[in-house]
Amino acid sequence: MVIAILPDGSKRELPDGASVMQLAESIGKGLAKAAIAGRVDGKVVDLSHKLVGEHQVSIVTDRDPDALLVLRHSTAHVMAEAIQRIWPKALLAYGPALETGFYYDIALDQPISSSDFEKIEKEMAAIIAEDRPFSRYELSFDEGMKRLQSEGNKYKVDNAQRAQAGGAVSLSWYATGQSGKNWEDLCMGPHIPSTGKIKAFKVVSVASSNWHGDVKLDRFQRIYGTAFFDKKQLEEHFKLQEEARKRDHRVIGPALGLFTIDEKVGQGLILWKPKGAVVRQELQNFIGMHLKRQGYQQVFTPHIGRLDLYKTSGHFPYYRESQFPPLVDREFISAKAEEGCTCAQLSNLMETGEIEGYLLKPMNCPMHIRIYASEQRSYRDLPIRLAEFGTVYRWEKSGELGGMTRVRGFTQDDAHLFCMEEQVAAEVQGCLELVKIILGTLGMKDYRVRVGLRDPDSAKYVGDPAQWDRAEAACLAAAESLGVNFSKEPGEAAFYGPKIDFVVKDVIGREWQLGTVQVDYQLPQRFELEYIGADNKPHRPVMIHRAPFGSMERFIGVLIEHFNGAFPLWLSPVQVAVLSISEKFNDYGQQVVNQLKEAGLRVEFDNSGDKIGAKIRKYTLEKVPYMLIVGEKEQAEGKVAVRHRTEGDKGAVSLTEFVTKATTAVGERQ
RNA sequence: GCUGCCAUAGCUCAGUGGUAGAGCGCCACCUUGGUAAGGUGGAGGUCCAGGGUUCAAGCCCCUGUGGCAGCUCCA
């Protein structure tokens, strides 16, 4: 006897071995028709899944978010079959569903390009039109393995072995149709009942990928697609993507004159234009205020430092792959040349760092450490908090660069806190408070917090396990006190200590790490830092690295998207535009402009011969918060007609009233 | 770095081997106006760079540079 406990708590009895579909039918015809899959004790299963005993069962229809994942996984099968029809030599590896679609990794010598998509889609449409059922069958592990080996697809063999390692005792296949007659794939499922349920789909893109994500292993062509239960949703999906593209900081940023990237200057190097510089400067002033309050001291350090410094810190050569090559000492190079050193040999010396020279700094910490070490420190001085907007340079691979979010030169709102171990918890908490203030002021609520812990099985993490435990406990406690949800992620720690990261999504849904707080026991040791304790003996301080914005480039890139280019008044590059009705009122307009400037506001004056409608349109598109329109009436009464970029006409007020309101809002960072 | 796609005016883009185009922007002139585009005219090109094929290349081929999507990486 099967007892199905439905979501409303009611029970339904069916004969043993009844399928989920039969359950759906027993509830109602409409439900059976809409059924895509079932959920048994929380796990999504096929409609054909046979029930035995008592379970919590619900029917998954197309309104259930899980249904979309099942549909997409099934569509991935259909796409794979279509691809194998066109290219019989294509070997399948792995084809999961995604939040926005699905992909299938395929090994095939011949490149598949976007011009092939139509052909693939045509084959897929044919398979869907046949409305073939997805039918599941299982083989014992040994039997299944024998079959896979005879088929000669090493990726599927590997998948099966991994399934076994995960505890599987049997292997399951899905035939798109009838086993033995139609296309089949080794697959855990679940799947939609039949291909006819796929009402809207599209092959979207192709990219390369590697087996198990390892660049040293076999390369695949990863074909992306997406699927929906109806055409409207599919169209909506692409429309949303297009809308997102319009918010992209790479589109908006240059259009609003915030920044530019110049091929002649170099890949991944940001040129901040005057308007972008205003935004950055305002943010820096804002954080500077809080740094003073929290007892930070400002420092400045150079952009290059001796290679030796970075050997001590461990950045070179350990991270040399992601650094610009060293700047070689001229004397050293001539001496080597006289010894008959070839270019190739010289290059090797640079690789290994056996060379006199300088490095463009990849991090600020070694410089701050040397400032700490320049004086004898007492426990009474601690914590010492050194802050700098420090520009660093990293050799990111060309394919990783893009916009302001991934660049080769960027400025961190960096600081290093040197403290006693018992001060770590309080200091980490202070850092988190700062991040919270920043995100709160800017109205950024959509972020997640990640506490990166060490993976005890990995050799990557250096240092004393007891210290790690204490540092991790301090980070977790600080994250706890933040009052927002956070995830613990073993293996995400820096090699020198645990960290707390703030991660946000961009308009395309890609995640970026912004603010970060990291506890470090390693660098103080490598640089043999000390302070004199109350016991008159030397002790080793602990360092905290922290950057609440992360980098100015990445942060502002994300910020542009967050505001869709419409910055709040205090951040707006141009806060007020004065628009004269006609050139007759330009003198009065100029007086208004002068007074606004006098009050410290950033103003632009449109005294051109354009009509007022055109002027309004121009500044609305430029997302200037306030437009002040001045004509005959305003001139006579000493007023300005206020228009807000989104709220429209706000009526006329005296100039002094506007100035008071605007400057107050700026002061309150609105 | 890898796979695929892309590169034409300041911007967005059209141009399938035979005399380089449009819209917006810019400049000038006319117009002097009341809350999202007034009119007319003009300037503006190394068709990403280098090489090749061809009587002839923006267009076809090769190499490089840069951009986009994804993979990988991200101290």
Q: What is the pLDDT of residue A320?
A: 79
Q: Gap from A56 CA to B66 C1', in Å?
A: 57
Torsion of CA A217, A221, A227, A233, to 10 degrees: 110
pLDDT reported for residue A404: 94
Tell which wins on pLDDT, A282 or A205. A282
**pLDDT recorded at residue A252:** 93
Q: Which of A19-23, A117-121, A347-351 has the lowest mean pLDDT?
A: A347-351
Listed in sequence order, the residues at least 6 apart from A262 whose beta carbon sits closer than 8 Å to its beta carbon are: A269, A271
Q: Which nucleotide's C1' is closest to A251 (Cα)?
A: B11
Distance A108 CA to B62 C1' (A): 25
Instruction: Calculate the angstrom distance between C1' of B6 and CA of A104.
Output: 24
Confidence of residue A213 (pLDDT cuts 50, 70, 90): confident
Q: How far is CA A50 from CA A9, A27, A520, in A?
A: 21, 16, 54
Q: Nearest nucleotide to A315 by CA–C1' distance? A: B75
Nearest-nucleotide field for A400 (CA, C1'):
B73
Nucleotides of B under 7 A from a protein CB: 1-5, 11, 29-38, 65-75
pLDDT tens figures, A8-39: 888 888 888 888 898 888 888 888 888 899 99
Question: Which one, of A595, A549, A575, lies nearest residue A434 by Cα?
Answer: A549
**% of chain A surpassing 70 pLDDT:** 100
Q: A477-536: per-residue pLDDT in tens?
A: 888 888 888 899 888 888 788 999 999 888 777 888 999 999 998 899 999 999 999 999
Nearest nucleotide to A263 (CA to C1') is B66
Q: How far apart are CA A536 and CA A255, in angstroms?
A: 61
Assembly ipTM? 0.93
* Torsion angles phi and psi, residue A505, rounded to 5: -100, 145
pLDDT at A236: 87
Interatomic CA–C1' length for residue A263 and nucleotide B7, angstroms: 12
Q: What is the pLDDT of residue A590?
A: 95
Report the protein residue whose CA lies nearest the C1' of nucleotide B65: A263
Closest by Cα among A408, A303, A306, A397 to A353: A306
Instruction: Find which nucleotide's C1' atom is closest to A636's CA.
Output: B34
- Long-range CB contacts (within 8 A, 24+) of A88-96: A91/A153, A91/A155, A92/A153, A92/A155, A92/A156, A92/A185, A93/A155, A93/A156, A93/A159, A93/A211, A93/A220, A94/A155, A94/A159, A95/A185
Q: How far is the CA of A646 from the C1' of B20 (A)?
A: 41
Q: A249 falls in which pLDDT band (50, 70, 90)?
A: very high
Could you tell me the distance in Å between the CA of residue A253 and the C1' of nucleotide B36? 22
**Burial (CB count within 10 angstroms: exposed 0-12, middle 13-18, buried 19+), residue A607:** middle
Is pLDDT of A115 > 90?
Answer: no
Residue A564, CA distances (Å) to A94, A253, A624 in order: 37, 10, 12
What separation in angstroms does the CA of A271 have from each of A259, A456, A514? Answer: 6, 43, 20
What's the pLDDT at A535?
Answer: 95
Nearest nucleic acid nucleotide to A630, CA to C1' distance = B34
Q: Which amino acid is at A531?
A: Y
Residue type at A48 in one-letter notation = S
Q: Which of A522, A416, A418, A534 is nearest to A460 (CA)?
A: A522
Point out the residue nearest to B10 (C-alpha to C1'): A255
Instruction: Report pLDDT digits (tens) over A146-187.
Output: 888 888 888 888 888 888 887 778 888 899 988 888 998 888
C-beta separation of A645 from A627 below 8 A: yes
A653 pLDDT higher than 90: yes
CA at A304, C1' at B56: how many angstroms apart?
Answer: 54
Decide: residue A506, CB within 10 A, 0-12 exposed, 13-18 middle, 19+ buried: buried
Spatial separation of the C-alpha atoms in residues A8 and A193, rounded to whole Å: 25
Residue A456 has pLDDT above 80, yes or no: no
pLDDT tens by residue, A286-324: 999 999 999 999 999 999 999 989 989 888 877 878 888
DSSP A154-199: HHHHHHHHHHHHTT-SEEEEEEESSTTTS-EEE------SBGGG--
Smallest CA–C1' distance to B71, residue: A209
Task: Please name the helix (run of DSSP H) or strand (run of DSSP E) that holds residue A291, with its range, or none.
Answer: helix A274-293
Write out the catalytic residue numbers of A.
365, 394, 412, 414, 416, 499, 545
Given this model, what pLDDT does residue A277 score? 95
pLDDT category of residue A3 using cuts at 50, 70 and 90: confident
